[in-house]
Structure 1
Amino acid sequence: MPLLDRHMTLLSGSLRTLLQRESDRRRWADSPYAWLFQPYMGEEAVAMACQVSAVQPEVMSVAAVVLSPRRVHTSRTWVATLAASPALAPATLRRHHQLHNTDVPRCPDAQCLSELAEFIGNRPLVGWQLDQTIEPLNGLFRAGLGFGLPNAQVDLAKLHVRQLRRLHPHIDTSRRLEDALARWQLPPLTWPSVVSEATASALLYLRLQREVALTA
């Protein structure tokens, strides 16, 4: 069974978003990016995490980790700190480099964004509060390539709340990833980096998939 079959109702996006994706698909049909807009027929997904500097919003660190139905492939990870003008925020970039263990900051130009798009492909995206998480990244994609990420998406915060209330209808639910990890008996975040967050999100998704299968 494909990775997202059980959670199709949790795919994020309003009717306006869906219409925009269809418009983009038609617009880019004859471009090298056309395949990104095609439905994904495999079983993998990509867990995403993005942290934007509160001091310098133009600086952000991004991580993408591939997962399959039974495994998180930490060897298949894309991670970078993005900054249009590194010279304008050296202190912020140093903090992001130390926190997220990234290489030299990269400019979010068309080449960099194309590389990330190629890595993600047309696989579905999963992440904690995913709409908020990737909106800054989508802004870069729209500015650099002309479109936001068209992938199907699953918001793990919504999936967590839905499954928890299914088991315990009157329980109070937290909106913190750390609390969700503890609730489902998963390892805590060892370090607040984007790679740790993306990996934890992938593990949480697989755990929730198993939980749904057991209680179906």
Structure 2
Amino acid sequence: MRFMDRHFALFGGSLRTVFKRESDRRRCMGTPFEWLFHPYLGKELVALALRTADADADADILSVAAVVFDERRVHTRSAWVVTLADPGRTRHATLQRHGTASLLPSSPENVGALTEFIGNRPVVGWGLCDAMAPINRLLSDRLGFELPNTQVDVAKLYQRTLRRSHLEPVGPASFGEALARSRLPAPGGASLLGEASACALLYMRLQRDAALHA
């Protein structure tokens, strides 16, 4: 079984998701984005970490860190880390809280660059089921479709691992707890790239542990 196959049953989907994806696929036929809906045949995945404006009402802001990894390593040198916002409508203090070095307008061209970087590779992330809502809204507004990739919520994967080990906590585990229990370093500061990289490492560790106990 290949590295990325074992836990894809944890895709946080629904019947609505299936119908929406098929509708988006048909809408994108004949466009430059058609290939994103093709099955992925490679061995890489993309770990995502996302941050939104939360309570800030002055602008729509989405910071994204996307890092490619495989079963052997995390490719942090080629990561995609940027804040997508309208600089003219966004307060400087708000941007500082997002902590990314690159600021780009959330134009169709820049949002399209993000989707092309992710490609049709599977995506993983902590709490991915909830985290995908802002990026899907942005893609729908700018490009007319939601991200069609296979998705794995590492939080759900970790909870399932705990249940199998009879160590499930009373409440949902936090990302920091999962990293500590897996003996992985926590990301420093508020680094989105560090968060995405740590999530990739956690996924790799859970995959290896599952293979040992299979």
Aligned partner of 1:153 in structure 2 is 151
1:89 maps to a residue whose letter is: R
Aligned partner of 2:120 in structure 1 is 122
Aligned partner of 1:49 in structure 2 is 49
**Is the Cα contact below 8 Å between 2:47 and 2:69 reproduced in 1?**
yes
- The correspondence for 1:79, drawn from 78, 81, 93, is 81
Q: What does 1:16-55 correspond to in 2, within 5 Å?
A: 16-55=16-55
Per-residue deviation, residues 54-110 of structure 1 (Å, max 9, x unmatched):
2426122110000111111111200101112434322211332xx33x22x211111
**Is the Cα contact below 8 Å between 1:49 and 1:134 reproduced in 2?**
no
Residue 72 of structure 2 is aligned to residue 70 of structure 1: yes
Instruction: Using structure 1 for the length normalisation, give the TM-score.
Output: 0.92
Q: CA–CA distance in 1 between the matches of 2:189 and 2:92?
A: 22
Question: SS at 2:183's partner residue?
Answer: coil
1:22 maps to a residue whose letter is: E
Q: CA–CA distance in 1 between the matches of 2:66 and 2:177?
A: 22
**Is the Cα contact below 8 Å between 1:128 and 1:156 reproduced in 2?**
yes
**Is the Cα contact below 8 Å between 1:86 and 1:93 reproduced in 2?**
no
Identity of aligned residues (%): 48
Q: CA–CA distance in 2 between the matches of 1:36 and 1:124?
A: 11
1:128 shift after superposition: 0.3
Question: SS at 2:9's partner residue?
Answer: helix
1:171 shift after superposition: 4.2
Q: CA–CA distance in 2 between the matches of 1:43 and 1:110?
A: 28
Q: CA–CA distance in 1 between the matches of 2:167 and 2:50?
A: 31
**Is the Cα contact below 8 Å between 2:125 and 2:154 reproduced in 1?**
yes
TM-align CA RMSD: 1.5
- The correspondence for 1:186, drawn from 169, 177, 184, is 184
Aligned partner of 2:8 in structure 1 is 8
Structure 2: where are the runs of 5+ without partners? none
Q: CA–CA distance in 2 between the matches of 1:166 and 1:173?
A: 16
Q: CA–CA distance in 1 between the matches of 2:180 and 2:167?
A: 19
Q: CA–CA distance in 1 between the matches of 2:46 and 2:94?
A: 27
Q: What does 1:85-104 correspond to in 2, within 5 Å?
A: 85-96=87-98, 99-100=99-100, 102-103=101-102
Question: Which shows bigger deviation, 57-66 or 105-114?
Answer: 57-66
Residues 67/123 of structure 1: CA separation in 2 closer, same or farther (3 Å cut): same
Question: SS at 2:3's partner residue?
Answer: coil
Per-residue deviation, residues 133-152 of structure 1 (Å, max 9, x unmatched):
12111111000000011100
Q: CA–CA distance in 2 between the matches of 1:8 and 1:196?
A: 24
4+ long deviations beyond 6 Å: none
Residue 130 of structure 2 is aligned to residue 132 of structure 1: yes
Give aligned pairs, total.
212
Question: SS at 1:5's partner residue?
Answer: coil
Structure 1: where are the runs of 5+ without partners? none
1:169 shift after superposition: 5.2
1:37 maps to a residue whose letter is: F
